Amino acid sequence: MAAILIGLVIGLPWLGAIVLWRTRDETPRLQHTLAVAFSIAAGVASLALIPFASAETVISFPMGRFFGSLTFTADGLAVTLTAIACVIGSLAVVFSVDYMRGEEQLSRYYAFVLLFIGAMTGLLLSGNLLFMFFFWEITALCSYALISFYNDDPKAVAGGIKALIITQVGGVGLLAGALTTYATLGSYQISDLLADAGKMPAGILALVAFGVLAAAAAKSAQFPFHTWLPDAMEAPTPISALIHAATMVNAGVYLLARFYPAFEHVPGWKLSVTVVGLVSALITAFMALTATDLKRALAYSTVSQLGYMVYAIGVGGVFASQFHLLSHAVFKALLFLSAGAVIHSAGTRDMLRMGALGKQMPFARNVFILGALALAGLPILNGFWSKELVLEAGLDRGPLWAYIGMLLGAGMTAFYTLRMTWLVFFGEVRESLHVHDAGKAMKVSLGLLAVGTLTTWLLAGPFGEMLHETLPFHSIHRLNLSELAHEIFTAPATYVALLVVAFGLVIFWMVRNQPTVKNEAWMDFLSRESFGFDWLNRQVAARTVQFASVLQKTQTGVLSWNVAGILGALLAVLIFLVWSVR
Amino acid sequence: MTLNPLNIILFGVVLLLAVGFYGLLITRNLIKIVLVLQILVKAVVLALVLAGKASGNLGLGQSIAATVIVADTIVAVVALALAVQVRRRAGTLDIARISTLQG
């Protein structure tokens, strides 16, 4: 049964992608219907898979000597994230029915969305490192294709290419990790790596560990690869909600959580993970303070919240990190989609042109506020529980300076969240935009996500239990709901965090009437340049192009030179062989 | 190196390869290029038979060699036909003069 369900959650979206690719753009109703049907079917299958969670390998195809076996394992970690991907995927598709109405080339749009959902579930369920890498790269390709969906807009094309290149750099780390594992352990199975990590030479294991960290940082847009996510906001908003907030960017955190037991004893690895999370959370929270583009502000806050999850893994709180991932996926998808409803009807993403839109779109306002409160970490929404859990894990087991940094981040989060909400929905009318409230399909997905934001924290007990039962190599600190509530409400850390959050809110309240005041010039400069990392990206790109143009001179097309090159290489190989045999 | 038959054949392979590569390095005439490519392929065919003999799979080596001969003949025929067309259209067989690639 579990095998059939795994086949369905990967196969249904891919089948849908093929079908949608073949549909004609003259029949948009058919395209919307098919896409919704396939994605909802996948969502139902993914929910049905949850009770079958186990540590066993469910499907195993032998693929010959060089690839190992293509195996699928539906353990607690994988089924939870699969359910997030498929359910939020189907909600994003439902939202698209309104958002993408009247757009051209819907077959391309929906085909890539469905291809992405299938690849994402494959990545999560795969028990083979090499195939995990393949699925990993397919998600990156879909992300690229969807960021550049409006392919006549140069900014969208540039953003897509930037995202593709940076995630490829990380992908090389994952590939190197997979191949090194195969070379030393003779197996691509993740369970073998987790079981036998101790048998690998320390230096090799460190190489794998830091390769995986690089891959995770690039995919989750963590420092120093955080520059691609804000530029990815040129994508249609449902894509930003699905790929760049709720699912694909979580793949990096998932990877770290998955391999945590193998790498936790590698010297310096946990500290590096902690620092990556801390730095990402702080610098992007800072950039969110000055952002004026609604989607960019949300993107910065996504990187910042992903930083919290990475930080939680760095201090050993795998459960806290995955729980925050669940909460974040729900409330951030809600925020993005309600922002999408605003952008769709206002026709601009510039928050300085909005203002007082709340009266005209009450539904979008209400759900956005709900998401914003969860993001700020106010009780009793899901963001509160998971963020407190992360901070508590940090205080218990992590270094104190990192904890203080994360507290500061929580305060900044509260500030920029309130600022966003205020600029868009409250305050004075700055420009009379004619907006209308969210459409029917939009309301369905927003409503369901809002319910999720209110309730997913109730799942903490079963979720922890499932992770504990099905992850033999992880030691999960599980709590049922009353223990969780007891632990959170009796810990002084909670009140400290709430105090910091309240402080952030109060500071904003005091300056709320000048939210558009000129930011200090240095703040603007730092934010615009991503603390110099955009400059670094541009330099790397420019140097690469320069180097390529030097190499171009060797491409003469003269046959004799080419033959001489081949012969030279052949001679070099021969000499090397003779020398190494000796 | 003793003078057993396998070594003599190996010497032949190396000799054919050397002639072929030398030709590729110096010639600019399209017909001659097809010719030296043929010499290179003959070296490969010889090497295949040799490898079959040396590894004890003589039948395997010979059957692959026969396949290569068939495929290679087609390549030669098509290449020569193209060379004729090039000569008719461009008026020359000199590859340096018909090349349009800008390096």
**Which residues, listed in sequence order, are joined to residue A71 by a DSSP beta bridge?**
A60
Percent of chain A with pLDDT over 70: 97
Q: Which residues of A touch B (CB under 8 A)?
A: 552-560, 563-564, 567
Question: Mean pLDDT throughout A164-180?
Answer: 90
At residue A511, the 3 state secondary structure works out as: coil
Query: Which residues from chain A sit within 8 angstroms of residue B25, using beta carbons?
Result: 560, 563-564, 567
* Count of beta carbons in the 10 Å neighbourhood of residue A397: 15
| C-alpha–C-alpha distance, residues A163 and A143, integer Å | 8
Average pLDDT over residues B37-51: 93
The distance in angstroms from the start CA to the end CA of chain B is 46
Least confident among A257-261, A335-339, A433-437, A572-576: A433-437
Mark yes or no for CB contact A563/B28 under 8 Å.
no
Contact A557 B99 (CB under 8 A): yes
Q: Which residues of A touch B18 (CB under 8 A)?
A: none
Q: Which of A114-128, A295-309, A523-537, A565-579 has the lowest mean pLDDT?
A: A523-537
Please report which residue ranges of A264-293 form alpha helices under DSSP H: 269-290
Nearest-angstrom CA–CA distance, A285 and A289: 7
**What is the residue-averaged pLDDT of chain A?**
85
Q: What is the pLDDT of residue B103?
A: 45
Q: Is the pTM of this model over 0.90?
A: no
Which domains occur in chain B, in start order?
Answer: 5-98 (1.10.287.3510)
Query: What's residue B90's pLDDT?
Result: 83
Q: Is B21 on the interface with A (CB under 8 A)?
A: yes
pLDDT confidence of A139, banded at 50, 70, 90? very high
Name chain A contacts of B99, Cβ cutoff 8 Å: 557-558
For residue A28, what are the contacts with CB-CB under 8 A and spacing of at least 6?
A101, A102, A106
Contacts of B21 in chain A (CB under 8 A): 563, 567
Listed range (A237-246, A497-506, A514-523, B63-72) with the worst mean pLDDT: A514-523
Q: What DSSP letter does each residue of A185-217 carry, written as one string?
A: HS--BHHHHHHHGGGS-HHHHHHHHHHHHHHHH
The three-state secondary structure class of A471 is coil
Q: Which two tokens mark A515?
A: 């939210």
Cα-Cα end-to-end distance for chain A = 57
Q: Which is nearest to A116 in space by CA: A27, A273, A236?
A: A236
Q: Which two tokens stand for residue A40?
A: 């909802």
Q: Which of B21, B96, B99 sits opposite A563 (nearest CB)?
A: B21
What is the model's pLDDT at position A105? Answer: 84
Q: Do B103 and A567 touch (CB under 8 A)?
A: no
Any residues with CB less than 8 A from the CB of A483 and at least 6 apart, and which? none
Please name which of A9, A50, A56 lies closest in space to residue A459, comparing C-alpha atoms.
Answer: A50
Lowest mean pLDDT among A13-17, A145-149, A432-436: A432-436
Please give the average per-residue pLDDT across A269-289, as a whole number.
89
Please name the residue of chain B whose CA is at the shortest distance from the CA of residue A570: B21
pLDDT at A547: 92
User: Who contacts A112 (Cβ-Cβ below 8 Å, separation ≥6)?
Assistant: A17, A142, A145, A146, A149
Residues with Cβ within 8 Å of residue A147, at least 6 apart in sequence: A156, A159, A160, A163, A232, A234, A235, A239
Q: Is the pLDDT of residue B76 over 80?
A: yes
User: What is the per-residue pLDDT across A383-433, written as a single tens digit (0 to 9) for each?
Assistant: 888 888 888 888 888 888 888 888 888 888 888 888 888 888 887 777 777
Whether residue B75 has pLDDT greater than 90 = yes
Position A267 scores a pLDDT of 87
CA distance B9 to B65: 15
Give tens-digit pLDDT for A353-368: 777 777 788 888 888 8
Give CA–CA dist A502/A506, Å, rounded: 6
- How far apart, in Å, are the Cα atoms of A187 and each of A40, A63, A133? 36, 12, 14
Residue in A203, A229, A194, A240 with CA at minimum distance from that of residue A99: A240
pLDDT of residue B66: 94
B-chain CB neighbours of A564 within 8 Å are 25
pLDDT band of residue B73 (cuts 50, 70, 90) is very high
Comparing A575 with A52, the larger pLDDT belongs to A575
Chain-centre distance for alpha carbon A176: 22
Q: How many CB atoms lie within 10 A of CB A440?
A: 9
pLDDT value of position B101: 55
pLDDT in tens, A476-530: 776 777 777 777 777 777 788 888 888 878 877 777 766 555 566 667 777 777 7
Mean pLDDT along residues A77-81: 89
Question: What interface predicted TM-score (ipTM) does this complex get?
Answer: 0.78
User: Is-cis flag, bond preceding A224, omega within 30?
Assistant: yes
Give me the pLDDT at residue B7, please.
Answer: 87
CB A382 within 8 A of CB A330: yes
pLDDT in tens, A543-579: 989 999 998 888 777 788 888 888 899 999 999 999 9
Vertex A349: Cα angle to A17 and A507 (nearest 5): 125
Ranges A62-76, A228-242, A298-312, A466-480: which has the least confidence: A466-480
How far apart, in whole angstroms, are the C-alpha atoms of residue A162 and residue A536?
A: 13
